[in-house]
Amino acid sequence: MKSIRSIAAVSAFVAMAVSAQAQQSDVTVAIQLEPPHLDPTSAAAGAIDSVLYTNVFEGLTRFTSTGAVVPALAKSWTISEDGMTYTFALNEGVTFHDGTTMDAEDVKFSLDRARGEDSANAQKALFAGIAEVTVVDPATVQVTLTQANGNFLFNMAWGDAVIVAPESIEGIKQTPIGTGAFKFANWVEGDRIELVRNEAYWGTPAVLDAATFKFISDPTAAFAAMMAQDIDAFAGFPAPENLPLFEADPRFSVMVGSTEGETILSTNNKMPPLDNVKVRRAIAHAINRQEIIDGAMFGVGTPIGTHFAPHNPDYIDLTANSAYDPDLARQLLAEAGLADGFTTTLKLPPPSYARRGGEIIAAQLRAVGIQTEISNLEWAQWLEEVFRGKDYGLTIVSHTEPFDIGIYARPEYYFQYDNAAFQDVITTLTATNDAAARTELLAKAQTMISEEYVNGYLFQLAYPVVADARLKGLWTNQPTQGNPLTEVTWE
Amino acid sequence: MKWRSLLIGGLLSATFLLAAALSFFWTPHDVETLNIAGRLKPPTLSNWLGTDHFGRDILSMIMVGARTSIAVALVAVGIGMGLGVPLGLAAAAQSGGVLDEVISRGNDLVFAFPSLVIAILITAVFGAGAVNAIIAIGIFNIPVFARLTRGAALSLWTRDFILAARVAGKGRARISLEHILPNVANLLIVQGTIQFSLGILAEAGLSYVGLGAQPPVPSWGRMLADAQTMVALAPHVALMPGLAIVLMVLGLNLLGDGFRDWLDPRLRVVRT
């Protein structure tokens, strides 16, 4: 009798387990890089936003998958006539995951912390124009700018501008406490981060009960994990050559979206002979973009002729400035007094676009007489030697921050491009609110860096997402790095 | 077939040596020219082993890659022999002395570390590249030869003809060079061949993890690493360099076995 009862209990349990599997209510999303810590407001690492952006942390505004800026914690706002004062009306009844309320004081704290002198924020420029943040009442906050800034609402949508609480700031790097639809649950370093649904979410709650972000950096392991369905989706699939295999398999769906990742042959503008615009132009004409896109990315990617995302309405196609023309490249080298070519370094970070693209570019440059010494670096070495140390001639990297043409106005940035005229354009642009005037200034900025051949402009990085065919609602584009899961459902 | 392993091993090794030598003057295609449009082609008449992900001819890559592998392994074995053999001779000559202790414990110390881990450490610290790979592989070859030489020499030192030489007034160093070394040479040739094959494997391993010869110099290990994600698409891209490594290592091992059968007098007596 007893054994019959236990068998019944076991079979009931099995039945439950089976039905639970039939209606999967969690998701495992793999990404390539693991975050170094979990504070998006104090590090440049995009992997932090890949896990936390709008899932755990929210800002006043946020991006949608198409790149539009929509209200988030601020439900509405008014802008003064002169464009200098923004008054945000906050959503009411918002609480952080630890139960404390989110109000105007927290907004003031977050913005003041980000723009403070000892701020570790990786994008301090976003907050540079803020003169003062005033708490009007708990649900209203007023931000005064030093000058009108047409980008302000856009800036507030970045992962670096999310709202954090003074009560939980201490442990944010290990236990992030935000206001999002998911709560941080667990971090197994080197393997995964687990999130659970926030039952007290102020907005439309998440459909899924739980979500896991798994870190798989090796392209071969990524392929195997996806094929074996150990993971439900891979956001930013690292081996484009394998996409056709997933496309042919009815279990999976493949989406190739756009990113803000301008993949460029970054050039050290202060290192001879690369400080000569003729030499940089010769490099630009020696490069065959289509061959790089086909060879390194297996055809996935859009050619660019300047540092701007092609899906942006203000983008202008300047690829003709650097059309593939090896004869012209040789002639330009001769004009620069380097008819016999020269040798420089080509330092490559780990992603396949860089490693494979580097070999292709090295071959293309060799064809016009430029020799490159290739060295393959790990990310930490790359950041140390190239990004901070500026000890390089050429490197290949994808700049994934949205709307980042402003980096060319920073002479200390690792390209070391120092052009006062360009810096003026960016200063004027920042102070301009009028859409038509902005378009014109952006066109000017794009043309300037294209005609000065600051860097070799290669292609816009595509964003391949491989997912279980039944999974719906994943971000297919990357207007900023992020994988918001609030609207993700199983069919 | 008494000479079978010597013959097969010799043929396989000679094929790769000849291919490497030939690649200095001629390869079917240029290995530095990319042809993206013709990538991942299966073996055809114009590309006997197919093309890789950049459209380079795999046969030409393997020929030039053999050069890298052989050069690295050869110099590494040279380092191991050049330093290991004198150390082993010296240790045996001073058997039981301080020098013997120092050399023997030094050998144990180097042996205690897994060889490939030392190699990765060295190339990671001093930078990736063929030269550092040679040094790294050479270092863990030293104790192999030192131990072998010491062990063989120790048993020789007790033999009568050595005693005769000592009675005749020859010094220990001279005896080591004139009487011990010629008598351990057989062993060294056999071990050298086997270490050579291990050197090829080690070089492939180092370049597989990106610490060997840097692009665009072709190397077997890197060809394998590059082909890794293409296995499902074009298996031959991974298969060909893999086979090259297997055949070369197999050939050298057989050759080493063959040499032992041929050179070791004791084995010869047993077999006949």
pTM, full prediction = 0.78
Tell me: do A281 and A394 sit in the same domain.
Answer: yes
pLDDT in tens, A146-173: 888 888 898 999 999 999 999 999 989 9
Same domain membership, residue A483 and residue A393: no
Compute the nearest-CA separation of B175 from chain A (Å). 49
Q: What is the pLDDT of residue A1?
A: 46
Annotation: CATH topology of B4-19+69-271: MetI-like fold (1.10.3720)
Distance from CA of B47 to the nearest CA of A (A): 19
Q: Which residues of B touch A (CB under 8 A)?
A: 32-34, 36-37, 39, 53-55, 127-128, 210, 214-216, 226, 228-233
Tell me whether residue A20 is in a domain. no
| Domain CATH number, residue A350 | 3.10.105.10
Domain boundary among A170, A186, A221: A170
- What confidence score (pLDDT) does residue A4 get? 52
pLDDT, tens only, A106-144: 999 999 999 988 888 888 888 888 999 999 999 999 999
Give percent helix, percent strand, percent coil of chain B, each to the nearest 5. 75, 0, 25
**Could you tell me the pLDDT band of residue A18, with boundaries at 50, 70 and 90?**
very low
CB spacing of B34 vs A360 below 8 angstroms: yes
Residue A139 inside a domain? The answer is: yes
Question: Model confidence over A49-92: pLDDT tens digits?
Answer: 999 999 999 999 999 888 889 999 999 999 998 888 999 999 98
Range of the domain at A68: 56-170
pLDDT at A19: 46
CB contact under 8 A, A295 and B39: yes
Q: Is residue A77 within a helix (H) or strand (E), and if so which, with residue range?
A: strand A74-79
Domain boundaries, chain B: 4-19+69-271
User: A interface toward B at CB cutoff 8 Å?
Assistant: 219-220, 223, 239, 241-242, 244-245, 291, 294-295, 352, 356, 358-360, 362-363, 366, 373-376
Q: Is residue A221 part of a domain?
A: yes
Of A473 and B264, the structure prediction assigns the larger pLDDT to: A473
Q: How confident is the model at residue B267 (pLDDT cuts 50, 70, 90)?
A: low
User: For chain B, how long is the longest CA-to-CA vector?
Assistant: 76
Per CB-CB distance under 8 Å, the chain A contacts of B54 are 295, 356, 359-360, 363
CB-CB neighbors (< 8 A) of B226 in chain A: 356
Percent of chain B with pLDDT over 70: 96
- A244 and A315 inside one domain: no
Choosing from A116, A138, A170, the residue where a domain stops is A170
Query: End-to-end distance of chain B based on CA atoms, in angstroms?
Result: 12
Domain membership of residue A136 (yes or no) is: yes
Q: Do A242 and B229 lie within an 8 Å CB cutoff?
A: yes
- Separation between Cα atoms, residue B173 and residue B179, nearest integer Å: 10
- By the 8 A CB rule, do A210 and A196 touch? yes
- State the pLDDT confidence band at A348, using cuts at 50, 70 and 90: very high
Subunit contact B229:A241, Cβ cutoff 8 A: yes
Nearest Cβ partner of B233 from A241, A356, A358?
A241
Same domain assignment for residues A440 and A320: yes
Q: How many CB pairs under 8 A join A and B?
A: 59
Q: Which residue of B has its CA nearest to A293?
A: B36
For chain A, count helices (H), then strands (E): 13, 19
Report the number of distinct structural domains present in chain A.
3
Residue A96 contacts residue A179 (beta carbons within 8 Å) = yes
Q: If pLDDT is split at 50, 70 and 90, which confidence band does A11 have?
A: low
- Judge if A251 and A264 occupy the same domain: no
Count of C-beta atoms within a 10 Å radius of residue A356: 23
> Within this chain, do residues A224 and A246 fall inside the same structural domain, yes or no?
yes
Is A4 inside a domain boundary? no
First and final C-alpha spacing in chain A: 42
For chain A, give the mean pLDDT: 89
pLDDT in tens, A203-247: 999 999 999 999 998 888 999 999 999 999 999 998 888 998 999
Q: Which residues in B lie closer than 8 A to residue A219 (C-beta atoms)?
A: 228-229
